Amino acid sequence: MEDKKDSPDPLPQDIQSGPAIRHLVDTFYTNVRQDNLIGPIFEETVEDWGKHLPTMYRFWEKLLFNVPDYDGNPFQKHLSLPVQPPHFTRWIELFTQTVDDHFAGPKAEEAKTFARKIASTFQLRMGLKPENPEWAVPNYTRG
């Protein structure tokens, strides 16, 4: 009898519209909800995860695939949250780790770039200085 070798794990594929977006969002928010730093903020703020997650599917499909199914103001929803730069840093870390654990390719890289830009822009608009200078939005001046 021949020993069957375990087949290697398939290489991660790039993010695609539909089920891959749902997997990304579901996995990310599972990680967020279990996180000691940002989990409590999300648990206190999100009243209905069954409604929130589909909104996030539409948000990321619009960003990554130009699916015109999201219409919202994410900054406005986050403006009143008790967040500081360490919260944004952790959010980016969790998002990046989730993407890297499950996906690889141009859309995966684009998603991570969008996440850093979102966090940077939110912090700038909230008057916060990002912990990681690489994530800061450049301060343009006339001169």
Over residues 70-116, the pLDDT tens digits come to 888 988 888 888 999 999 999 999 999 999 999 999 999 999 999 99
Residue pair 113/97 in contact by the 8 Å Cβ criterion: no
What's the whole-model pTM score? Answer: 0.85
The whole-angstrom separation of Cα 26 and Cα 39 is 14
The whole-angstrom separation of Cα 42 and Cα 94 is 14
Any idea where the domains of the chain sit in the sequence?
18-67+74-126
9 confidence band (pLDDT: 50, 70, 90): low
Residue pair 85/130 in contact by the 8 Å Cβ criterion: yes
Which of 3-12, 53-62, 123-132 has the highest average model confidence (pLDDT)? 53-62
Options 1.10.490.10, 3.40.50.1100, 3.40.250.10, 1.10.150.110; CATH for 18-67+74-126 is 1.10.490.10
- Angle at 23 (CA atoms; ends 17, 27), nearest 5 degrees: 145
